Chain A
Amino acid sequence: MASVFSREKRIVYSRKIKGFWEEFSRKKIGLLGLAMVIFYVLIAVFAPLLTPYNPLSTEQVAQSFARPQWITIFPQYSDLPTTEKFPLYWSIEEESELIQSYGTIVVAEYEAENMEIVAVRLAAKFNFTSIPPIEFYFKFTWGGNDIQDLKYAIRIALFTPDGTRYSPMTDIYLMSLEQAGGELVTVQSVNPFFRQRLGFETHKNPAPVIFNQTGEYKFELNIRFQPKSTAASGKVTVKDTECVILGQVHGILGCDHAGVDIWTQLVYGARVSLEIGLLAAVAGASIGILVGVVTGYLGGVVDELMMRVVDILLCLPFLPLLLTLVFLFGKNIFYIVLFIAVFGWQGLSRVIRSQVLSLRETAFVECARASGASKFYVITKHLVPNVLPIAFASLVLAVPSAILFEAALSFLGFGDPRVPTWGKMLHQAFGFGAFTHLAWWWLLPPGIAITTLCLAFVFMGHALDEVVNPRLRRRR
């Protein structure tokens, strides 16, 4: 018997859903919204496939404020290069027995024969053919093993094609410490100490000066050993040397102030926005439905009290209060979603409540009561299913406001710093000079993304509203 009943129910439900879909699909704007939402969901789901980078990584992939790569179609930008990486392959300049290995890993082993300073020299060449860059860096890993009574120094110099020498590129001077393992050194052209070391003033950019010509550039590696006693010995390793000329264009949307890819942030931001929006909206809607149904049905003191509470909550300025709560309790995404949900339910509860009030007087509810059904039964079996359509429409409309709330919060700097959201992107853009650099590729995408995602839900919600709201249906 029970199974037959539920099969009937299933037929009824499927017919209802089909009917609903027929009406909904007649509204073009709703379909457009749905399509846009699906588009963003796909982006969110396939994010790892759309970008090789990790959204929270701070790795610099191109110069700060690098433009998008496709801008090279335009003539005035056609010769802007992307990032070029030159791994250095060391070859021996001066023959020496100390060099145990060369190439990508250079190992020099020293054993004291006398108290003289001994040095080894290697060189690595690469061809540079682009326009003068604005930023570059080079990095390497060095380490000393089994160092005994030994001072050593690693010196790297750079020669331009026309012979100009820039040195020292590093500042790893005489060491006499035991060093195990590797220490990664990154030397950036934006670093003021580096600039000073090379003889530039701190505000002057060495990159275009050093790399002002095309041709063969040469790095020279000099390892000097200074024994402190005749028993001095040790092994020095230099490896993973790489010279990176940071591109002036990169990727689909260029880079931010720290040279981090913007497209990655945008794509993962879709995930976060959808999650936050849906979570907050669903949580808020659940509370709203619950409150609306219970107060509408029970009426009396409960109803009055709840309505007063709702009135008061409507009096509170949302954003300032939200900011305060985040400020006090920490910038945690969980709290943020919770707070948004807590603020979002009043409007829905009112709508549900009025719907319940009119449903309460209908025949089938009276029948249920008359046949002895408990309040709980009436609420769950009769009222809730009938308010779900309206609740659904309001829920869809609640998502954009949740997204906008979170975006505003992040924009003002109160979002969770561990979460990559579009609002955070705008916050950084605003605060780190996107304006002064006219970096439209940083400012526009997140804003447009927020706008289009919200509009998608608004379109859907608007169409849904017209389908399920009985009042609006009588449109002439």
Chain B
Amino acid sequence: MALLKVENLKMYYETMRGHVRAVDDVSFEVRPKESLGLAGESGCGKTSAALSVMRLLPHNGRIVGGSINFDGVDIAKMGSEELRKKIRWKKISMIFQGAMNALHPTYTIGHQIAEAITEHEDVSKREALERAGSLVELVGIERGKIDRYPHELSGGMKQRAVTAMALACNPDLVIADEPTTALDVIVQAQVLKVMKELQSKLDLSWILITHDLSMIAETCTRSAIMYAGKIVESGSVVHIFKEPLHPYTQKLITAFPSVLGPKMELSSISGFPPDLLQPPPGCRFHPRCPHATDICKTKEPALVEKKRDQFVACHLY
């Protein structure tokens, strides 16, 4: 029984020049205590999909189709007040891209974490701060630092603080959007370590959004690869990495050079990601796909289960 089941989600941005089809018929699911890695290039729609789940879209973003089933309830159709009280942070929380700016500059991090707690639970401020202290300890920050302001913390600490904040109300699902992008490599490793510890200690489900496939390989059990607003391949991480089926996935995996392996020329994918205002007809990857055939240019491939727990959308299969 899936915890989160996104089915045929369509989310467009309304702009003066037309509809930008950021999320176009996307389906994936996250099972309890599972971690799903959502991967893809910048602009492929992964953040948009995440924001849609929590309905944190900007003014011009609209969910125009599909369902988002959380624990059996379609939260895409839920009223905003109910969503705010029951789902946001309580059931699903998020760690945003660029944690530096996600924290309010004039409140202490302890206050900001406690704020989330007192909003959803009937506890006193003091108790909430106590819990905030424990939470930051979980992510490896000294308890006393909850009285610090964001500008007094380093980048890595801020990232971990935001992680702690996401866990404040013991949610069932945490969405982490590019949690290590703005950090240097050493700090990245620290944050990853913390996340893996949390995974093992707590009974959460995760959605990890990133363009870094190696991170997904290290931390997730399942993965979904997005391209131009669509899911092109999904399934268990082991299977996808061992035997990537979709041409795009294959290219992605080979694009990351292995430090230990033999020296190779850097391979990249030719071309540019498509314009989501007017995406190419048929399979959206066909302009850049080395195996493209005529049918790829006209008919969109459906996501089918090719092998056990491995789904792919490609006319090759």
Contact = CB atoms under 8 A, between A and B. Distances in A.
A/B: CB atoms within 8 Å of each other: yes
Interface of A: 476
Contacts of A476: 58-60
Nearest to B60: A476
Contacts of B60: 476
Interface in B255-285: none
Interface residues of B, number: 3
Nearest to B59: A476
A476 B61 CA distance: 11
Main SS at interface, chain A: loop
Interface of B: 58-60
Nearest to A476: B59
A104 B58 CA distance: 87
B60 to A, nearest CB: 7
Nearest to B58: A476
B178 to A, nearest CB: 22
3 contacts: A476-B58, A476-B59, A476-B60
Contacts of B58: 476
A476 B59 CA distance: 8
A476 B60 CA distance: 8
A315 B252 CA distance: 61
B217 to A, nearest CB: 37
A60 B155 CA distance: 80
A295 B59 CA distance: 41
A383 B220 CA distance: 52
A143 B159 CA distance: 103
A127 B133 CA distance: 103
A299 B58 CA distance: 40
B61 to A, nearest CB: 11
A263 B148 CA distance: 67
B191 to A, nearest CB: 31
A476 B57 CA distance: 13
A160 B1 CA distance: 115
Contacts of B59: 476
A376 to B, nearest CB: 40
A381 to B, nearest CB: 35
A173 B124 CA distance: 104
B275 to A, nearest CB: 20
A110 B265 CA distance: 129
A444 B60 CA distance: 47
A476 B15 CA distance: 10
A99 to B, nearest CB: 91
B15 to A, nearest CB: 10
B179 to A, nearest CB: 27
Nearest first, the 3 closest Cβ-Cβ pairs linking A and B are A476-B59, A476-B58, A476-B60
A331 to B, nearest CB: 50
A476 B58 CA distance: 9
B251 to A, nearest CB: 32
A23 to B, nearest CB: 13
B315 to A, nearest CB: 39
B106 to A, nearest CB: 22
A476 B14 CA distance: 11
